[in-house]
Structure 1
Amino acid sequence: MRYFLGIDAGATKTYALLGDESGRLIGLGKGGTGNHQSQGGLPLAMASIARAVEEALAAGGLAPGEVHHAAFCLAGADLPCDYAMLEEAIQERWPDMRFSVHNDSFAGLRAGLTGRWGVVSICGTGTNQAGIGKDGREVQVGGLGGLFGDYGGGADLGRAAVAAVFLAAEQRGVETALTGPVLAALGAADVDDLREKLYRGQIERGRIFALAPLVFEAANRGDQAAQEALIEMGRRMGRSVGGVIRQLNLCDEEVEVVLAGSTWKGNNPLLVDAFRLEVHRVAPRARLIRPRFEPVVGAWLLALERAGLEATDSVCERLAATMPPDLPLNQETNV
């Protein structure tokens, strides 16, 4: 029996999933941030990845060398220099393990595709877009930050919430119901106190990133600033996906666009509506879908396929039947 390991490492959490070639899952491991671009750099990222991998291996009673193939799908694997650095670090940690390194967007893509080609939009803490063409060619855009034209994810939505508060207070924008909730969440007495705390660096970035749910809640109550924040984010991510679709020559195809990441699960439709509009301007036949599996399962499927095996219906059915409770299945695939 051959065993495969899938790793999905993002900005806030890392999962590792172990299973055999039949699709039977036997181990799940967890860690913290696995993105070497986050605070703490490569040492912290590798510590999180190692914790998740070794926990999954221990649950299955396997040594690293007994894994037939491991697919490391890592946030921060963006440029060739990233791949070289990460491959070296993984090889040093587990010299007997056979592995490949991928950007984490391809885990989300593989978790949702019903075929072999399509596009994914990642919207978690940050954003990334990627795709595989009908000819097998891979394209990845984004993931490097605002200076490179990226915009999207919970972090940017949290920043937009804070900006809306200041714009309203200084009469540069519309009044917003976000003011009270944002002040409370960030522990500020008023807008002046918030300004000083931010200026002095007294509020951790993670607390700002955690404000995203407040934007969805305010949008549901009809708040204009919150609604515009969702619409703007959806439009910009839709344009980024449009770029991937154009590069892969899929404009005239019924291309699957997978929505992966926690921020896509927000409870207001404006984000998806605005995104859909921009995508359909480029590819009118595009179909938005939610992945059936969590991204770490997509990473596991990549490991299986890297070994030349096929993710048959029976393999996918066994995956679903043995899925750990921490990785719920999505029963609604259409968006």
Structure 2
Amino acid sequence: MAILAIDQGQTKTAALLLSEEGEILGTGKAGGASHYKDGLAKASGMMQEAADMAIQDAGLQKEAISQVYGGIAAANWPDEIEMLQEELKRRFSVQKADVVNDCVIALRAGTDSDNAIVLCTGSGMNSAVFVNGKLELVYNNYIDFYDQGSEGLSSRALREIFQSHMGCGPYTSLTEGMKEYFGIDDMDRLMLAFYRNQLPKPLKDACEVVFQEANKNDPTALEVIYEFGKSISQYVTGAVKRFQIEPAGFEVILSGGVFKNSNPLLYETVCSQIHRKYSNIPIKQSFYEPIIGAALLAFDEKGAKDDDAHERCKKEACARGLVRY
């Protein structure tokens, strides 16, 4: 029998089919979706498409799947998790389907530690906290709008160019970059399109403009990245304080596409802001892609984190390039 692991975010959906011994049998991918933004039918359909590709890659039939473990965007609250679990059971005709927020699988992909927190910064942003092996917190809707991953970073940049346009902020090359990206030359039209959610291109992808201008040392672009990093670091320091965690034994995992950017400022800002309060807390980038975290969580239910299935899964992940760097 096979285990189906799923990672669904707003940008992409990934699927793995694995044996119970940890062998990766097949991989698949599809477009991203969120049941909250796009509806359950579309989100479920994208999971099916990715799974079908993995099943075909493995040379198996759908009936071979005995269990599904999904890390799914916007699986934020118990009613949503229950709804998604029932949908996975129905979609794949299984009795056992586990669902967690996609930031939880990103955390598991980054560490074997029982005490850890992840800043998962992709299209949106979320953070999960494990204490003594128990999932104690997922921030969910408590994440500030302007901290929401690449969308939040882009929103911060747009806020700055609006301020610049009104004479309340300095000139910034972000202005022309954003106008060119969205194909809107008139600032009033751009501002209205933003606030009315009518932008002609994805807001999340506009963050590339921010990093491009930061690489040219535009002061405003650099400040946007710095303030973003400073803000999201508070989710880590807040968790340490809330759960009275010993920092030296608590790992901080950084994951998500925004942290893959070659510009060092975001990573360095997050590290420095955390270390200003807790200088002995270890921080590292997640090595494995989040989909591997879904697989490892499924294996966690079956055995110790250092058993053969876990180790084989990690080895095969490296061989298949399912790593972040």
Question: What is the TM-score of this pair, normalised by structure 2?
Answer: 0.90
Match of 2:154 in 1: 158
Match of 2:106 in 1: 108
1:139 aligned counterpart, secondary structure: strand
1:113-192 counterparts in 2 under 5 A? Answer: 113-134=111-132, 136-144=133-141, 151-192=147-188
The letter of the residue matching 2:177 is: P
The 3 A distance-change label for structure 1 pair 103 and 241 is same
Match of 1:214 in 2: 209
The 3 A distance-change label for structure 1 pair 321 and 170 is closer
2:202 aligned counterpart, secondary structure: helix
Whether the 8 Å CA contact 2:233–2:274 is kept in 1: the answer is: yes
Residues 66-87 of structure 1 deviation map (CA, whole Å, 9 limit, x = unaligned): 3343211111111111112111
The letter of the residue matching 2:199 is: I
The 3 A distance-change label for structure 1 pair 23 and 137 is closer
Q: Residue 20 in 1 paired to residue 47 in 2?
A: no
Whether the 8 Å CA contact 1:4–1:304 is kept in 2: the answer is: no
Match of 2:6 in 1: 7
Q: Residue 308 in 1 paired to residue 303 in 2?
A: yes
1:75-94 counterparts in 2 under 5 A? Answer: 75-94=73-92
Rounded to whole Å, the distance in 1 between the matches of 2:196 and 2:118 is 38
The letter of the residue matching 2:99 is: V
Rounded to whole Å, the distance in 2 between the matches of 1:141 and 1:317 is 25
Rounded to whole Å, the distance in 1 between the matches of 2:279 and 2:193 is 46
Percent identical among aligned pairs is 29
Rounded to whole Å, the distance in 1 between the matches of 2:198 and 2:146 is 26
The 3 A distance-change label for structure 1 pair 109 and 200 is closer
Task: Detail structure 1 runs of 4+ shifted over 4 Å in the superposition.
Answer: 196-202
Whether the 8 Å CA contact 1:238–1:277 is kept in 2: the answer is: no
Match of 2:218 in 1: 223
Rounded to whole Å, the distance in 2 between the matches of 1:167 and 1:117 is 42
Match of 2:267 in 1: 272
Deviation at 1:236, TM superposition (A): 1.4
Q: 2:43 aligns with which of 23, 42, 45?
A: 45
Q: 1:287 aligns with which of 272, 282, 296?
A: 282
Match of 1:333 in 2: none
2:140 aligned counterpart, secondary structure: coil
Deviation at 1:142, TM superposition (A): 2.8
Larger deviation, residues 105-114 vs 18-27: 18-27
1:253 aligned counterpart, secondary structure: helix
Whether the 8 Å CA contact 1:73–1:104 is kept in 2: the answer is: yes
Larger deviation, residues 56-65 vs 157-166: 56-65
Residues 68-126 of structure 1 deviation map (CA, whole Å, 9 limit, x = unaligned): 43211111111111112111211222233522111111111111104333111100011
The letter of the residue matching 1:6 is: A
Larger deviation, residues 305-314 vs 216-225: 305-314
Question: What is the TM-score of this pair, normalised by structure 1?
Answer: 0.87
Rounded to whole Å, the distance in 1 between the matches of 2:190 and 2:315 is 51
2:7 aligned counterpart, secondary structure: strand
The letter of the residue matching 1:287 is: P
Rounded to whole Å, the distance in 2 between the matches of 1:200 and 1:126 is 19
Name the Cα RMSD after superposition: 2.3
Match of 1:260 in 2: 255
Rounded to whole Å, the distance in 2 between the matches of 1:174 and 1:143 is 34
1:197-212 counterparts in 2 under 5 A? Answer: 197-198=193-194, 202-204=198-200, 206-212=201-207
The letter of the residue matching 2:271 is: R
The 3 A distance-change label for structure 1 pair 211 and 289 is same
2:28 aligned counterpart, secondary structure: strand
2:36 aligned counterpart, secondary structure: coil
The letter of the residue matching 1:109 is: L
Rounded to whole Å, the distance in 2 between the matches of 1:267 and 1:200 is 32
Rounded to whole Å, the distance in 2 between the matches of 1:79 and 1:92 is 20
> Where is the helix percentage greater, Structure 1 or Structure 2?
2
Larger deviation, residues 94-103 vs 229-238: 94-103
Rounded to whole Å, the distance in 2 between the matches of 1:87 and 1:117 is 26
